[in-house]
């Protein structure tokens, strides 16, 4: 039986080649399967990586020019890596999330969720003050672990960006695995992406920007989010927010 913790130092490291990348992906899925069951000792590791996936990673050469869209502006995007450190956008962020997470009269939120389980927990962590967690009714509740969470989030990328507030999206493993078992990890990843994209669109309408981060210490963040049961949460995405500093947008 594979020990889920045996891979934690493997799949967090950058891959040097395609084989290493695929191997880390397989290890991650196996570890996720173990963690998402009620008893890791009973996890099923029958997953086999299809050989055809490897071919999908090989770059292809296009021998003819790709047609340009009629309007380039329709496809414009930007990645912001530097924010104004003196602009606190926590209020704007909370307003957007409150609207995004509020349920309609049918009990659904404004983004899709498998089985309407909404397994992605949303946390807001400002540099100063308590962290905030949105419960099932989209009520912002303060958490006493704010300073510990902010410290856990301080990767070199986030620290260097100047962001003064960040959103953390984490999968509630017991909630999603009861119905979908290890496949719940996949559904949680899809849902986290939907939340992040909707949030970025709404913040841009307010003139604010986002910086998505995937490289962080899962264990430190999970412990800061749920000190009594960190194994129940799987941090997926950290998003820094703010007003873009001049010259920071890479188009």
Which CATH number covers residue 231?
Answer: 3.40.109.10
Tell me: do 84 and 48 sit in the same domain: no
DSSP 111: S
Mean pLDDT calculated for residue range 121-142: 92
Tell me: do 52 and 93 sit in the same domain: no
Query: Which of 19, 41, 56 is at the close of a domain?
Result: 56
- Number of domains into which the chain is organized: 2
Residue 168 lies inside a defined structural domain of this protein: yes
Tell me: do 138 and 20 sit in the same domain: no
Kindly report the backbone phi and psi dihedral angles of residue 235, in degrees, each rounded to the nearest multiple of 5, phi listed first: -60, 135
Mean pLDDT calculated for residue range 233-249: 86
Residue 73 lies inside a defined structural domain of this protein: no
Residue 69 lies inside a defined structural domain of this protein: no
pLDDT at 180 over 60: yes
Q: Is 165 helix (H, G, I), strand (E, B) or coil?
A: strand
Weakest mean pLDDT among 2-11, 59-68, 121-130, 235-244? 2-11
Q: How many Cα atoms within 13 Å fall on the side-chain side of residue 137?
A: 2
Tell me: do 90 and 47 sit in the same domain: no
Tell me: do 92 and 198 sit in the same domain: yes
Range of the domain at 231: 79-250
155, 216 contact by CB (below 8 A)? yes
pLDDT band at 13 (very low <50, low <70, confident <90, very high): very low
Residue 74 lies inside a defined structural domain of this protein: no
- Cα diameter, the chain: 57
User: pTM score, two decimals?
Assistant: 0.70
Q: Is 95 helix (H, G, I), strand (E, B) or coil?
A: helix
Mean pLDDT calculated for residue range 141-168: 91
Q: Given this model, what pLDDT does residue 29 score?
A: 55
Residue 185 lies inside a defined structural domain of this protein: yes
Q: Given this model, what pLDDT does residue 152 score?
A: 94
The pair of structure tokens assigned to 156 is 């070199």
Per-residue pLDDT tens for 75-94? 555 677 889 999 999 999 99
Residue 37 lies inside a defined structural domain of this protein: yes
Weakest mean pLDDT among 50-54, 170-174, 188-192? 50-54
Percent of residues, the chain, with pLDDT higher than 70: 67
Output b/e per residue, 40-73; b: 16+ Cβ within 10 A: beebeeeeeeeeeeeeeeeeeeeeeeeeeeeeee
The pair of structure tokens assigned to 135 is 């419960």
Tell me: do 141 and 200 sit in the same domain: yes
Q: In angstroms, rounded to a whole number, what is the distance separating the alpha carbons of residues 188 and 72?
A: 32
pLDDT band at 164 (very low <50, low <70, confident <90, very high): very high
Tell me: do 97 and 200 sit in the same domain: yes
Q: In angstroms, rounded to a whole number, what is the distance separating the alpha carbons of residues 126 and 193?
A: 21
Q: Given this model, what pLDDT does residue 186 score?
A: 92
Of residues 193 and 12, more confidently modeled = 193
């Amino acid at each position: 039986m594979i020990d889920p913790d045996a891979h934690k130092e493997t799949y967090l490291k950058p891959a040097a080649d395609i084989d290493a990348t695929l191997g880390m992906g397989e290890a991650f899925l196996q570890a996720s399967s173990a963690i998402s069951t009620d008893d890791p000792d009973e996890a099923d590791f029958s997953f086999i990586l299809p050989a055809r996936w490897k071919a999908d990673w090989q770059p292809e050469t296009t021998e003819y020019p790709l047609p340009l869209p009629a309007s380039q502006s329709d496809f414009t995007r930007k990645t912001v890596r530097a924010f104004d450190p003196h602009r606190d956008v926590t209020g704007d962020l909370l307003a957007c999330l409150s609207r995004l997470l509020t349920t309609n009269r049918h009990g659904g939120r404004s983004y899709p969720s498998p089985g309407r389980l909404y397994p992605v927990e949303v946390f807001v962590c400002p540099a100063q003050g308590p962290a905030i967690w949105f419960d099932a009714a989209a009520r912002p509740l303060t958490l006493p672990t704010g300073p510990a969470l902010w410290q856990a989030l301080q990767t070199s990328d986030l620290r260097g960006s100047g962001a003064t507030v960040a959103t953390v999206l984490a999968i509630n493993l017991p909630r999603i695995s009861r119905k979908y078992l290890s496949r719940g990890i996949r559904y949680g990843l899809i849902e986290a992406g939907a939340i992040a994209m909707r949030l970025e669109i709404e913040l841009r309408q307010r003139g604010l920007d986002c910086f998505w981060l995937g490289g962080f210490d899962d264990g430190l963040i999970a412990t800061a989010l749920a000190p009594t049961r960190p194994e129940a949460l799987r941090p997926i995405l950290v998003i820094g927010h703010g007003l873009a500093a001049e010259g920071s947008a890479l188009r």
